[in-house]
Structure 1
């Protein structure tokens, strides 16, 4: 399965391992109004965006039938877990979480 991340400046990181995912998250310390998040996108179309505040946005931009979901105050450990699930293609496990729409 193919996946990639965008760092806070929009640079693409192809198929990052967990250590690289952590480094990309570290870049959120430099987030600003123009570059507020990092994200991981899976070939299925699903995307998880991460903000420094602990906000996560879960969406599939290719599917207009489902509005984006969000979770607030998500810990770094949980964020890394969810990024790992998405990278592995475990979409169903992420979908079952309590996303606010």
Structure 2
């Protein structure tokens, strides 16, 4: 399965291993208002975006009918665990997490 990451400056890393994922996530130390996150995207359209402070966003960027979810204060180790699940295509395991969803779809 194909997956890729965006680093904090928007650079793409194809199919990163866990060490590379950690390095990209550590790059959040250089985040600013214009470049606030790093993300891992799967070929299925599902994406996890991590922000400074532990905010994690779960969304399907190819399906506007899916309500995005978020979790706050997520540890680096938990983000990396979820990135690993997404890289493996285990969407169901990620979707069972305690995502806060607000009942509205994106337009």
What is the TM-score of this pair, normalised by structure 1?
0.98
Deviation at 1:18, TM superposition (A): 0.2
Deviation at 1:64, TM superposition (A): 1.2
> Size of the alignment, in residue pairs?
101
Aligned-residue RMSD, C-alpha? 0.5
For residues 4-47 of structure 1, what are the alpha-carbon distances to aligned partners after superposition, in whole Å with 9 as ceiling and x for unaligned?
Answer: 00000000000000000000011000000000000000000000
Structural mapping, 1:5-84, within 5 Å: 5-84=5-84
Deviation at 1:58, TM superposition (A): 0.1
Structure 1 segments unaligned to the other structure (5+ residues): none
Structure 2 segments unaligned to the other structure (5+ residues): 102-107
Q: Supply the distance in 1 between the matched residues of 2:72 and 2:80 (Cα, whole angstroms).
A: 15
